[in-house]
Each structure stands twice: as structure tokens, then as C-alpha cells.
Structure 1
Amino acid sequence: MLLHTHSWGEGDRLALLVHGMMADHRTWRRVGPALADLGYRVIAVDLRGHGASGRGAYTPALYAGDLVESLPTGAELALGHSLGGLALSLAVERLKPRRAVFSDPAWHLPGPAEGMGPDALVRFKAAPREQIRAMNPRWEEADVDIERETLAAWDETAALGLAALPGPDLMPAAAVVPSLVQLADPSFLIDAERAALLEARGFVVRAVPGAGHTIHRDDFDGFMASLEGWV
């Protein structure tokens, strides 16, 4: 599926941004311009079922295939958050970026017992503004507004595709390109044991102290600082 994209900047270097579940390219409203200021041409996608992209079946392989179909190869940087990190990890060998950043990637999927099963995500589509604000006290008001807009544009059946995934751990066997794993603190997706395993597999792992799952909205300055040496 050819995905809807949004761009910032006209630099000589190329950066690719892939959002997480329930979001779309608007989640990068500060990251895209910041990378453009560093000399990048930035392309952000809307994954299938999100934003202005088409609908269809929802599997990690399909998300990854869409990235390969929609984005240029050989970018200087590719960055994926949460579900976008999972999709990017499955596409990175074909996209061939020089560097990859996986921001709190969905390589471990919490279940219903942890309050994060597919049904809970579907219900969250109707979350009122007050709930979103209470869950994300560090977000700027613009990000709360964007969350409501992206939830409205999201096909909630995409969450149900998570139920069919093969097991709870989807971590890559090795870093295909130089790769940074950026973690929330604490991360409910990548615990200390998984982080150590990723380091043993060749990934650089950095946590952003005190940041929640959507690091770039919870602590934008910490997010950018943790990218030192990668952008």
C-alpha cells in the first residue's frame, strides 16, 4: 500500500519518521522541523489504518511492506516509535538507512492483564480530552489536541491485529544497521532484561529519564538530547 506522507525541510540528508499505534505524521510536529533545522529533508508516513492512508488488513509484515513501497532507500536516518519501531525493524534491511533509531519500540506487547490488550486500545479511541490530559500531564496542549484528532482518524480494527501476533517478544535477532534503542523510563515494553539482551545483540540502548512511552511528546528536549551522535 502506498502511504500518505508529510515532509519538512529541503536538506541534503534524508530522515524517515514512522509513528506508533493510534497516531499519524502529526505526532512529529516538533521533531520534523527540528530535524529540518539540522539539515534534513524529513519524510513522515501515516501507517495503514492511520491518518490519511488507506485501510486494509493489519499485520507487522504489511506495515513493513508499506514502508518499503512508500519510502526511499538509503536514508541517513530512519526513526520509528512503538508500532512504527516494530514495522521499521522488519523493513530496515530493505530500506537500508545508514542509522536507525527505535523509540520505545513495540517488540514486547503487554496483554490484557497489564491493561494494554487490543480491546483496551479499541476503547481508547473514544477517550475524552480529560482522560488524555490526565494520562499525559507533561504534554503540551497542542499534543492533546492532536491525539484526539489522530484517534478520530484511526481505524481501531488495526489494534485487533495485535492479537494475532506470534508471541509476546518480537525483538530483532541483531542490529542490521547501526541502531539506537531509545527507552522511556520506565518502559513497559522493554524491561531491563530485554534491554541487556538488545545490547548483547549489537544495539545501543539509552533511556530518557522520567519520560513516558511517547518520549518525543513527553520530554522533547530529552528526546532530542538522547539522539546525540545519531542525528
Structure 2
Amino acid sequence: MLLHTHTWGEGDRVALLIHGMMADHRTWRRVGPALAERGYRVIAVDLRGHGASGRGAYDPGLFADDVVETLPAGAEIAIGHSLGGLALSLAVDRLKPRRAVFSDPAWHLAGPVEGMGPETFAQFKAAPREQIRAMNPRWEEPDIDVELATLTLWDEATALSLAPLLGADLLPAAPVVPSLVQLADPSFLISRERAEVLISRGFEVRSVSGAGHTIHRDDFDGFMASLEGWI
């Protein structure tokens, strides 16, 4: 499936942005322009079931296939957040960016005993502004506006499709390209033990102190600082 995209900048270097569950390209409202100012042409997708992209069957393999079909290979850098990080890890051998950043990637999906299952995530479709603000106290007001707008377009069946992966260990065996794993502090997806495994497999791992899961909206300055040497 060809995905809807949004582009910032006209630089010679290309950066790819892949959002997480419930979001779309608008989640990168500050990151896209910041990378464009650094000389990148920044291309962000709306994954299937999100934003202006099409609907259909959902699973991580299809998300990855769509990304490969839509985005150019050989970009300078590709950044995937959460579900986007999982999709990027399944597409990176075909996209072949020079570097990859996995921002709090969905490489371990907790079951209902450990945390929120897919059914709980699907219920966020109807989340009111007050709930979003309470859950994300560090977000700027425009990010809450964006979240409400993206939830309106989001197909919650994308969350339900992940149920077969609950409890699975989805950590990549090795980085395909030089790769940074950027973690929230604490991360509910990548434990300290899993972070150590990633380091042993050749990934660089950096945490953004005090940041929540959506690091680029929780602490934009910390997010950008943690990318030094990678962008």
C-alpha cells in the first residue's frame, strides 16, 4: 500500500520518520522542521490505518512492506517511534538507510498482566482532552490538539491486530545498519535487561532522562540532544 506522506525541507540529505500507534505524521511537528533546518529533506509517513493513509488488514509485516513501497531507499537516516520502530526494524534491510534510530521501539508488547493490552489501547480512540493532558503532563498544548486530531482518523483495529504478539521477544538479532536505540526513562517496552541485550548485539542505547514513551513530544530538546552524532 502506498502511504500518505508529508515533507519538510529541500535538503540534499534525506531523513525518514515513521510514527507510532494512534499517531500520524503530525506527531513530528517539531522534529520535521528541526531536521529540515539541518539540511535534510524530511519525509514522514502515515502508516496504514492512520492519518490519510488507507485501511485494510493489519500486522507488523504489512506496516513494514508499506514503508518500503512508499519511502526511498538509501536515506541518510530513518527514525521510527514505537510501532514505527518495529516497522522500521522489519524494513531496514530493504530501506538500507545509512543510519537507523529506534525511538522506544515496540519490541516487547506487554500482556494485560504486565500493562495495557491491545483492547485498552483501542479504547483511547475516544479519549477526551482531559485524559490526554493528564497522561502527558509535559506535552505542549499543540501536541494535545494533534493527538485529538489523529485519534479521530485512527483505525483502532490496528491495535487489536497486535494481540498475537503479546509477550513475544521482538528484539532484532543484530543491527542491519549502524543503529541507535533511544529509550524513555523508564521504558515500559525495553527493560534494562533487554537494553543490555541490545548493547551486546551491537546497538548503541541512550536514555532520555525523565522522558515518557513519546520522547519527541515529552522532551523535544532531550530527544534532539540524544541524536547528536546520528543526524
TM-score normalized with structure 2 length = 0.99
Deviation, 1:90, is: 0.2
Paired residues for 1:46-195 under 5 Å: 46-165=46-165, 167-195=167-195
Deviation, 1:140, is: 0.1
Deviation, 1:166, is: 7.0
The one-letter code sitting in structure 2 at the alignment partner of 1:206 is: R
Deviation, 1:44, is: 0.1
3-state SS of 1:93 partner: helix
Whole-angstrom distance in 2 between the partners of 1:22 and 1:166: 18
Whole-angstrom distance in 2 between the partners of 1:174 and 1:151: 34
Q: Which residue of 1 aligns with 2:219?
A: 219
Deviation, 1:150, is: 0.5
The one-letter code sitting in structure 2 at the alignment partner of 1:150 is: T
3-state SS of 1:180 partner: strand
Whole-angstrom distance in 2 between the partners of 1:166 and 1:72: 31
Q: Which residue of 1 aligns with 2:23?
A: 23
Deviations 1:31-83 (A, max 9, x none): 00000000000000000000000001111100000000000000000000000
* Contact residue 110 and residue 167 of structure 2 kept, 8 A: no
Whole-angstrom distance in 2 between the partners of 1:78 and 1:121: 26
Q: Which residue of 1 aligns with 2:14?
A: 14
The one-letter code sitting in structure 2 at the alignment partner of 1:204 is: E
Moved more, 156-165 or 40-49: 156-165
* Contact residue 111 and residue 167 of structure 2 kept, 8 A: no
Deviations 1:129-149 (A, max 9, x none): 000000000000000010011
The one-letter code sitting in structure 1 at the alignment partner of 2:102 is: F
The one-letter code sitting in structure 1 at the alignment partner of 2:216 is: H
Whole-angstrom distance in 2 between the partners of 1:25 and 1:201: 30
Give the gaps of 5 or more residues in structure 1: none
* Contact residue 101 and residue 180 of structure 2 kept, 8 A: yes
3-state SS of 1:113 partner: coil
Identity %: 80
Segments ≥4 residues shifted beyond 6 Å: none
Equivalenced residue count is 231
Whole-angstrom distance in 2 between the partners of 1:222 and 1:167: 30
Deviation, 1:168, is: 2.2
